[in-house]
Each structure stands twice: as C-alpha cells, then as structure tokens.
Amino acid sequence: ATRSPFFILKMDLSERDKQRLREYFSQHKTQEMMQLAMNEVTSAFPASLPPDPAAIISRFFAHHCLPPSVERLEALEVFGAGGVPTLQINVTATSRGIPGQLVGSSTAPPPPRGAVPPPMSIQSQIDLLEKQVFPTLAGRDLLDSVTLDQHIGSLCGELGLPKSASMCLSMALAKGGAALSDVPLFHHVMTRLAQA
C-alpha cells in the first residue's frame, strides 16, 4: 500500500477526505520532495551539519515553486512633468503561493511640451488595455519576458495602441520579474534574452 504523508492523517477526517489528500500529495510528489529537502540538509554529513536547517529547506522549496504569475494589472492616468497626462501601469503577482504582491510599476514618458497630441487619449488607451490586453496576460509566467513582449507587441499593434503604451506595459512586467528574481532589471532582461 502507498504510504500516506504523515502530516495529513488527522483523526477527524473522513476516509473520503483522507483519500483526496493522499491523491493530492501523491500528484505533487510531496513525500519525495520532503526527502530531497532533508537530503539537502544532510548533504555534508558527517563532516558538518548546517546551523540553520530551515534556511536550507526553504531555499530548496523556493527553487521548486511554480513560477510567479501575473495576477492583476492596473492602468492609471497620472500627471507627469508640467502637468502633462500620461499612462502608468502597475503589476500585481502571485509568487511562491502568496497572492497580491505589487511587484512592478512603469510610467510612459509624456510627450514633449508643444508636441502634437497622441492620436489616442490616455483614457482610451486605458479602456483598451483593461478590456482587451490585460485579460490575456492573467496567469502568465512573469519571468518569461521574451514571450510576454512578443504577445504584447503583437496584440497592442493589432489594437492600434501607441508604442508608448506597449513599452510601458512591457517595462512594468519586466520590473516585476526582476523584483521577484531579486536581480537588477538589466540582469533580468539580459538573462531572459539569452535563454530565448
């Protein structure tokens, strides 16, 4: 018989619920993952043992989490230098199972003073982004900058959004990916380009 993870066998669970949990943990190979994590802790034994085994275990599981994903995008009209309206995009992500993390924000550069106004108002850009672009990005891998940029460029081009809007969105997502990778923005972008 398959062994059940010892930490789920609560006495007050029904047999049906116990079976559901057995199947869940079997699907995600938690027993094997726990064993591998413990092996990491004892990898240098008998020469030495780490002073903080929890740090070793947490680092191990951090590398095996699902990649951070786009949870929510927000587009705002803000005022730049000289009170000129421009576009700002904020990125909220789910990372390591924790939702609601504001990880990236970018503001499109306002047009120079005296320049011809853009053919599409900021509010029109926001409407298109929120209705037709943002829904297509929800749940996507935030670290896959190359695929995200290809999708954004293609879709924003089809919708007639100005390049400043697509660049603003791309930069906000890239900043989010860099923040969650704990690396500088240029390092994140160059790493993803090299992996493409």
Q: Percent of the chain, pLDDT > 70?
A: 89
Rounded distance, CA 178 to CA 117, Å?
33
Tell me the pLDDT of the chain averaged across its residues: 86
Q: pLDDT of 119-140, one tens digit each? A: 789 999 999 999 999 999 999 9
Report residue 1's pLDDT band, with 50, 70 and 90 as the boundaries: very low
Q: Tell me, what's the pLDDT at 80?
A: 76
Q: DSSP states of 11-57 as a string?
A: TTS-HHHHHHHHHHHHHTTHHHHHHHHHHHHTTTTTT---S-HHHHH
Q: Tell me, what's the pLDDT at 148?
A: 93
Rounded distance, CA 122 to CA 78, Å?
9
Q: For residue 4, what are the contacts with CB-CB under 8 A and spacing of at least 6?
A: 18, 21, 22, 25
Q: Which of the pair, 29 or 176, is modelled with greater confidence?
A: 176
Say if CB 177 and CB 142 are below 8 A apart.
Answer: yes
Q: Tell me, what's the pLDDT at 2?
A: 47
